[in-house]
Amino acid sequence: MSTSSPPPPERPRSKPWERAIVHVDMDAFYASVEQRDRPALAGKPVIVGGDSRRGVVSTASYEARRFGVKSAMATTVAKRLCPHAVFVPPRMSRYVEVSKQVMAILGRFSPTVEPLSLDEAFLDVTGTDALFGSPVELCWRIQRAIKDEVHLSCSVGAAANKFVAKVASDMKKPHGIVIVSPGEEQAFLAPLPIERLWGVGPKTGERLRALGFATIADLAAADVLALQRRLGGLGAHLHALAHGRDDRPVDDDNERKSLGAERTLEHDIRGAGLVRRQLIPLVDEVSSGLRRAGMRAGGVRLKLKYADFHRTSREHALAEPAQDSASLLATLDQLLPRVDLERPIRLVGLAATHLQPADAPRQASLFAAPQTSRSESLGRALDAIHAKHGKGAITRGEVRDGDRLDRGNEHRAPGLFDDDDDDDR
Amino acid sequence: MELRISVTELARTVSLAQGVVQRKNTMPILSHVLLDAQVDDAGNGRLQLTATDLDVGVKASRPCEVVTPGAVTIPAKALADMVRVLPGPDVVLKRLPNQHVEVKSGRTKARLMALSADEFPTLPAYESAHFVPMDKALLVDMVDKTLYAASLDETRPNLNGVFFEPPAQPDGPLTMVATDGHRLVRVERTFAGAHTFRLKGPVILPRKGLNELKRVLDGSDGDNAVELGFHGDNAVARKGNTLLGMRLVEGRFPDYRQVIPRLADKVVRLSRQDLMESLRRVSVLAQDKLQAVKVTLGRDQLVVSCTNVEMGEISDDVPVEYAGAGLDVAFNARYLVDALASLDDKNVLLKVTDNLSPGLLVGVDEPRHLCVVMPMRL
């Protein structure tokens, strides 16, 4: 293992790099974008996230992290820990834009780039040494290109597989470079806690600790058959990861497979009517996203998280690929009766699946609602209004603000159908 | 239980069960067949075979020599594989203690694991259905002309079968309709007794059941008679000593009448074979799944063409009689070929309105068989 910036002379390698995988992780991405776009925020603790009662911290700048503020923490807690922090509502479209710039830079280093989210990606850089030099040099070049061109900092890890590269990029944040050479994986992983392994969440972690496994070394030393007996298929998977083995390819299939939106509700809700009303703005959001992406959906997936954190999801095919709200909503209405809506629900989500380009030929349906094209024009008109006057400038009568239980998101701008006492709810 | 039966007879009987038994191993008993050997009052021995996946069930009864009456449940696949290779001419099946069945034929002796017959699910009383005699060829033809268009999409169960609507009046036709939401076919046939099914309304016959019905009828010899009836929420077909039951599909069939074009103003007359061959040629360049081809109408002209941005283009002229306006309309070539293949007439009419409305294919002399195909949007 070696860390560097700028590149040090490299040690002779014991083993050849059969594959070279790089993981790039932007440092405090949303907060960094805000600090960059608004110089007044530079050097200050910045917290990006909703500020409603149920809101959570999306990203905290490193200045705020020093006070113990973390992602996914309730904003109320964050406020207590760091009262002088600047709270900023997320501007997703801005982050999407910057993310595209970052991914374009990464695309110069390898044709095989797999974005995991807006702020991280894998690159398969096998065999690029003639172009970009050793792995250390390559990582340093990537880091510098991103710094120079979009003025943002990132951390980079390189290893012979995805899992180790991802762990590596997280070791020296922010602005770190960590290289794990082939053959060094196990030694590198050994001292780390088991929660670093993919597939180990809090629950599995607890279970593993109860079984006497605290570090990755403990798991690596365990008998794989014994692990399998206790944990089933997960046992073999974790054992392989603990040994630094992971042969998944970098998936550069850049076709988006789904496009979704979800919302954590301020109060738990139940009942078909209320749930549907919460979903309608998401239908419009997804529909608008589809138009932006130039895609049509072949299916719709409904996702619910109950108050007890149990999740459920159901998917249904559209009669005909579509991007308009009415078609998505009609399909959603077929899904709603198939889930339990009488248990308290804390999160609703909706995704368009089986995406296909909007200009691809599509088989028309015998029984599709004939007003699809009208609904499509309506959607485009709404997009134009939102672009000109801001999101929320116009909303559906069905989702008057009084019905909306969530807050602190982009729908907060006063709408045509808002009541006057908007702020008292 | 102990019985003796000819290997050929047993093989034919067991093959009836093969399509019915559950392939997915969710309930082991459903991958088994129930064999029940009994002697009737006249002293004749019979073997009754029963198989079901709880939606479709088959009961077949065959004469045999019964040594000891009784019943047993054997894995369907193992039994079918075995009887296919037994030397014959006869086979003796005998239940042993410990849930085994001994199979003896010629110099071959085998033991198969069995399950207790008590565990086998009870089938609906198919035999109590009210049966209407039908012509086997007519029934098979109606199924052949419709079943292919039924949807395979399991999220749309109401389309996973064939709509079946007997006439209210004695001289009215039996109507069968199938659709996958993109194309639709309607067949009407008149026969004596068509109005005597005693159904409260139209029903939907399940796809799997109809596939099995075709197997049973294709494999049957003898006369051209078959009976079809209904019992509770099951449709039942009876052919000789074989009963095939199928649970009707629940749900409402879409209103198919509204999608059958009535006022299509562009009517093209052409040879069924010609259009089919053109479509096959042109679709060589069509994209795998959507099979989009363009149909261009002009005076006495129909051109089928396809442009594939990655591979090239192809077009084919079809001789037609047409005097209407010009039109470009795209279709899934496979839907058109399926429809043309199911029509019987030498010459057919293609009726279209515009490039967004359903097109209609119908034989020149057979208005009772309609194929509706929705265009593609390019």
CATH number for the domain spanning A162: value is 3.30.70.270
Distance CA B351, CA B373 (A): 10
Domain annotation covers residue A420:
no
DSSP H or E run through A233? helix A233-242
My answer on whether A232 and A157 are in the same domain is no
My answer on whether A99 and A77 are in the same domain is no
Report the share of chain A in percent with pLDDT over 90.
38
- Label residue A18 exposed, middle or buried (CB < 10 Å: 0-12, 13-18, 19+): exposed
Active site residue A137: no
Would you state the pLDDT for residue B321? 93
Domain annotation covers residue A70:
yes
Highest-confidence segment of A1-5, A113-117, A334-338:
A334-338
Neighbours of A198 (CB within 10 A): 14
Judged by a CB distance cut-off of 8 A, whether residue A337 touches chain B is: no
My answer on whether A265 and A402 are in the same domain is yes
Per-residue pLDDT at A217 exceeds 90: yes
A338, A356, A359, A367: which to substitute to probe chain B, counting the most B Cβ within 10 Å?
A367
Would you state the pLDDT for residue A248? 84
SS3 at position A264: strand
Task: List the CATH number of the domain containing A349.
Answer: 3.30.1490.100
Per-residue pLDDT at B4 exceeds 60: yes
A363/B182 touch (CB, cutoff 8 Å), yes or no: yes
DSSP H or E run through A228? helix A224-231
Structure tokens at B128: 């109590």
Angle between helices A272-293 and A372-389 (to 10 degrees): 80
Residues on chain B bordering chain A, Cβ-to-Cβ distance under 8 angstroms: 153, 155-156, 179, 181-184, 254, 259, 287, 290, 292, 330, 332, 356, 358, 372, 374-378
**Starting from the edge strand earliest in sequence, which strands make up the sheet with B100-105, in order?**
B65-68, B2-6, B90-96, B100-105, B108-113
- Residue that terminates a domain, selected from A38, A60, A90: A90
A11: confidence class by pLDDT, cuts 50, 70, 90: low
Would you state the pLDDT for residue B66? 95
The mean per-residue pLDDT over the stretch A370-391 comes to 70
CB A78 within 8 A of CB A61: no
Domain annotation covers residue A232:
yes
Domain annotation covers residue A251:
no
Q: Which residues pair with A24 in a beta bridge?
A: A121, A156
Structure tokens at B110: 């085998």
My answer on whether A196 and A236 are in the same domain is yes
Report the share of chain B in percent with pLDDT over 70.
98
Would you state the pLDDT for residue B139? 96
Question: Closest-CA residue in chain B for A359?
Answer: B378
What single-letter amino acid sits at B378? L
The mean per-residue pLDDT over the stretch A70-81 comes to 86
Would you state the pLDDT for residue A201? 74
Would you state the pLDDT for residue A403? 45
CB B30 within 8 A of CB B14: no
The mean per-residue pLDDT over the stretch B129-141 comes to 95
My answer on whether A197 and A275 are in the same domain is no
Question: Closest-CA residue in chain A for B359?
Answer: A366
Which residues in chain A have their CB less than 8 angstroms from residue B184's CB? 366
The mean per-residue pLDDT over the stretch A245-258 comes to 75
Can you say whether the dihedral through the CA atoms of B112, B118, B120, B125 is positive or negative? positive
Sequence-distant (≥ 6) Cβ neighbours of residue B119 within 8 angstroms? B29, B73
∠ Cα A119 A123 A127 (to 5°): 160
My answer on whether A107 and A147 are in the same domain is yes
Task: Return phi, psi of residue B247, to 5°.
Answer: -70, 130
Would you state the pLDDT for residue B188? 97
Would you state the pLDDT for residue A372? 64
Structure tokens at A248: 């998944």
Between residues B220 and A2, the one the model is more confident about:
B220
- Residue that terminates a domain, selected from A67, A90, A113: A90
Give the rounded distance of the alpha carbon of A217 from its chain centre.
29
Task: List the CATH number of the domain containing A74.
Answer: 3.40.1170.60
Q: Are strands B32-39 and B45-52 parallel, antiparallel or unpaired?
A: antiparallel
Domain annotation covers residue A201:
yes
Distance CA B166, CA B70 (A): 41
Domain annotation covers residue A421:
no
Task: List the CATH number of the domain containing A217.
Answer: 1.10.150.20
B290/A362 touch (CB, cutoff 8 Å), yes or no: yes
Can you say whether the dihedral through the CA atoms of A127, A133, A138, A141 is positive or negative? negative
Q: Are strands B292-298 and B266-271 parallel, antiparallel or unpaired?
A: unpaired
Distance CA A169, CA A380 (A): 41
My answer on whether A194 and A315 are in the same domain is no
Per-residue pLDDT at B178 exceeds 70: yes
Per-residue pLDDT at A277 exceeds 80: yes
From the list A20, A360, A342, the residue with the least C-alpha distance to A180 is A20
Domain annotation covers residue A425:
no
Per-residue pLDDT at A361 exceeds 90: no
Sequence-distant (≥ 6) Cβ neighbours of residue B58 within 8 angstroms? B16, B17, B20, B49, B50, B51, B52, B212, B216, B242, B243, B244, B245
From the list B179, B171, B180, B230, the residue with the least C-alpha distance to B201 is B230
Distance CA B100, CA B287 (A): 54
A361/B377 touch (CB, cutoff 8 Å), yes or no: yes
- Residue that terminates a domain, selected from A90, A120, A135: A90
The mean per-residue pLDDT over the stretch A148-165 comes to 96
Would you state the pLDDT for residue B71? 94
My answer on whether A67 and A109 are in the same domain is no
Domain annotation covers residue A252:
no
Range of the domain at A203: 187-242
Size of interface A-B (CB pairs under 8 A): 43
SS3 at position A355: coil
A371: confidence class by pLDDT, cuts 50, 70, 90: low
From the list B184, B181, B153, the residue with the least C-alpha distance to B342 is B184
Condensed to tens digits (0 to 9), the pLDDT of residues B186-220 reads 999 999 999 999 999 999 999 999 999 998 998 77
Per-residue pLDDT at B329 exceeds 90: yes
Which residues in chain A have their CB less than 8 angstroms from residue B156's CB? 317
A204: confidence class by pLDDT, cuts 50, 70, 90: confident
| Average confidence score pLDDT of chain B | 92
Per-residue pLDDT at B177 exceeds 90: yes
Per-residue pLDDT at A271 exceeds 50: yes
Judged by a CB distance cut-off of 8 A, whether residue A361 touches chain B is: yes
My answer on whether A118 and A169 are in the same domain is yes
Between residues A207 and A352, the one the model is more confident about:
A352
The mean per-residue pLDDT over the stretch B31-38 comes to 94
Q: How many domains does chain A have?
A: 4
The mean per-residue pLDDT over the stretch A132-143 comes to 92
Would you state the pLDDT for residue A157? 96
CB A153 within 8 A of CB A14: no
B181/A364 touch (CB, cutoff 8 Å), yes or no: no
Per-residue pLDDT at A424 exceeds 60: no
Distance CA A88, CA A44 (A): 12
Question: How far are the Cα atoms of A59, A405, B129, B376 from residue A64, in angstroms, in the given order?
Answer: 10, 29, 77, 55
Q: Are strands B376-377 and A362-363 parallel, antiparallel or unpaired?
A: antiparallel
My answer on whether A129 and A205 are in the same domain is no
> How far B151 CA lies from chain A's nearest CA (Å)?
12
Closest partner residue to B330 (CB to CB) among A319, A361, A366 is A361
Between residues B289 and A77, the one the model is more confident about:
A77
My answer on whether A163 and A297 are in the same domain is no
A319/B292 touch (CB, cutoff 8 Å), yes or no: no
In order, the DSSP letters of A140-206 are HHHHHHHHHHH---EEEEEESSHHHHHHHHTTT-SS-EEE--TT-HHHHHTTSBGGGSTT--HHHHH
Distance CA A99, CA A103 (A): 6
Helix %, strand %, coil % of chain B (to 5): 25, 45, 35
Per-residue pLDDT at A114 exceeds 60: yes
A361/B372 touch (CB, cutoff 8 Å), yes or no: no
| pTM score of the predicted model | 0.62
Would you state the pLDDT for residue A3? 47
Question: How far are the Cα atoms of A247, A259, A306, A309, A350 from residue A339, in angstroms, in the given order?
Answer: 37, 21, 11, 15, 13
Can you say whether the dihedral through the CA atoms of A322, A326, A328, A332 is positive or negative? negative
My answer on whether A178 and A209 are in the same domain is no
Closest partner residue to B290 (CB to CB) among A319, A361, A365 is A361
Domains, in order of start, for chain B: 2-119 (3.10.150.10), 133-256 (3.10.150.10), 260-373 (3.10.150.10)
Between residues B274 and A249, the one the model is more confident about:
B274
In order, the DSSP letters of A287-340 are HHHHHHHTEEEEEEEEEEEETTS-EEEEEEEEEEEE-SHHHHHHHHHHHGGGS-
